[in-house]
Amino acid sequence: MGPIGIITTIVAAILFGAVGYYLGHQGKLRLMNQNILRLEDEAKQVLADAHSQARAIEVEGEKRVLDLQREAEAEIKERTRELSRQENRLQQRREALDKRIDSLDGREKRIRDVELKLEERQRELDNAWGAHLAELERISGLSQDEAKEVLLEQVRDDARVDAARIVREITAEAREEGDTKAREIITTAIQRIAADHVSETTVSTVELPSDDMKGRIIGRGGRNIRAIEAATGVDLVIDDTPDTVILSSFDPVRREVARLALLRLIVDGRIHPGRIESVIDKAREEVEQTIREKGEEAALELGIHGLPPDILRILGRLHYRTSYGQNVLQHSIETAMLCGMMAAELGGDVQTAKMAGLLHDLGKAVDHEVDGPHAIIGAEIAERYGLPEKLVNAIGSHHCEMEQCSCEAVLVQAADAISSARPGARRESLEGYLKRIRALEQVANSFEGVESSYAIQAGREIRILVKPEQVDDLGAIELSREIARKVEESLQYPGQIRVTVIRETRATEIAK
């Protein structure tokens, strides 16, 4: 091979090398471009996913904000309505007070005018009386004080004898005419509706399967017990009492809700704040349903129709209220039956009497929330829902806080006393019973001439022995009335108390 061939070979090798290098470089460039495109696609997909997630989070946030806004608006509306109701109630009371103030101002002016006239007349009488006394002293030869003492003593003795005799005659006549009929009506009514025993009071304790359950109810750091108390408004007392949790609340409905919820949590075993709230809501719905059913059942049992649903609901709350161990709803039904029976015997309005008897303790359902006597609270509720005036008066006057304006109002008071005072109707603690007995005997012993007193018949009667040399027969009648009046003014007791004064004189001689 000549030089030309060698050169040609070298040139060809160089060309082939250059072409190979160029082709390899182009392949690397294509591979790099493909990687760049793939990374760009992945970046676009990541951005698209991020935008989608951000949009979902934004939509969820907007929905949550709307929900919170609606809840806040609903709560604001409810509070606004409540404030409006309270404002209306205050306005009504303000108007009533203004009317009473105007009336009192007019009465005060009239009283001042009368006082001026009386003062003028008094001066005239004083002058005439002075002249008259001087003349009497001259004629009788006695001073004014001596004559006054003689006259007052004579008048006092005569008035005392006449008053005691009149009281005895009136009492005997009233007993002869009224005892037979009253005994017949009341005995018949009691026999027809007499219950067996005192109704059970609302349960305030919950039995636990073991002491370990106390720790689960308390929860870590006390979170479970705080959640229960916050949701129900009831205090849970967990002390050294074995296997027992005590529920404490003035509201018997709340206490019943807490009792049901706690029993279900114990049975279920899952006790944590989220579960507690759900169980309490269900227990509250169940209690509300029971309240409505009890109110409707009471009205249906008595044949009473047309009562507003809210009145029936308030009435149903009495199913969880007790008074001295007596279930207030059962007591109200019993009182209504007694009212109806006595009204039928006396020719009164049976339907009104039964309705007033059923609703007479309506105020006890809310007396822990509203200030005032339960009779007045019940009358205000009845008036607010447009019940008849006669019915409102019968409810408000059954404890004499209002003046009784109808026969039915008197029957409600009598039936209420019969239902609460009959044997087995109510119970009280031993300490309260003994305190009432001692107070009753102390009242009797505070009168002059009393030798001893004994409370009998579980405090339904007190018998007083008097000193015969200090208290005569007519004085014994007067003493029994005074003691009965002081017992009414100074003591609180269910039903009635009979006061019996005994005067006995014995003459003893020994035959030898």
- Please, are residues 381 and 313 in contact by the beta-carbon 8 Å criterion? no
pLDDT surpasses 50 at 349: yes
Place of tokens 């050169």: 7
pTM of the predicted model, to two decimals? 0.49
Q: How far is CA 426 from CA 1, 129, 138, 168, 339, in A?
A: 141, 61, 69, 34, 20
Residue 197: predicted pLDDT: 39
Residue 99: predicted pLDDT: 87
* From 105-114, 310-319, 429-438, 493-502, the region with the lowest mean pLDDT: 429-438
pLDDT surpasses 70 at 506: yes
Which architecture, in CATH terms, is 430-502? 2-Layer Sandwich (3.30)
Structure-derived torsion over alpha carbons of residues 391, 392, 397, 398, reported in degrees to the nearest 10: 50
Q: Name the phi and psi angles at 143, rounded to 5.
A: -75, 170
DSSP state letters, 51-113: HHHHHHHHHHHHHHHHHHHHHHHHHHHHHHHHHHHHHHHHHHHHHHHHHHHHHHHHHHHHHHH
321-427 fold: Hypothetical protein af1432 (1.10.3210)
pLDDT surpasses 50 at 203: no
Tell me the per-residue pLDDT of 171-184, one tens digit each, with 9 for 90 and over. 667 666 665 666 56
Provide, rounded to the nearest whole percent, the portion of the chain with pLDDT above 70.
Answer: 84
- Residues 112-136: what's their mean pLDDT? 83
Residue 201: predicted pLDDT: 46
Fill in the DSSP letter of residue 437.
Answer: H
Query: What amino acid is encoded at 395 in this protein?
Result: I
Question: Where do the domains of the chain lie?
Answer: 13-49, 203-315, 321-427, 430-502
Domain pair 203-315 / 321-427, same fold: no
DSSP state letters, 163-219: HHHHHHHHHHHHHHHHHHHHHHHHHHHHHHH--SSPPPPPP-EEE-S-THHHHHHH-
Please provide the CATH number assigned to the domain covering 203-315.
3.30.1370.10
Q: Quick one: pLDDT band at residue 447, thresholds 50, 70, 90?
A: very high
- Residues 434-460: what's their mean pLDDT? 86
Tell me the per-residue pLDDT of 296-305, one tens digit each, with 9 for 90 and over. 998 898 888 8
Higher pLDDT, 495 or 106: 106
- Residues 269-294: what's their mean pLDDT? 87
Phi/psi class of residue 453: alpha, beta or left (left: φ > 0; alpha: ψ in -120 to 50)?
beta
Residue 188: predicted pLDDT: 57
- Residues 268-279: what's their mean pLDDT? 83
- Residues 338-357: what's their mean pLDDT? 88
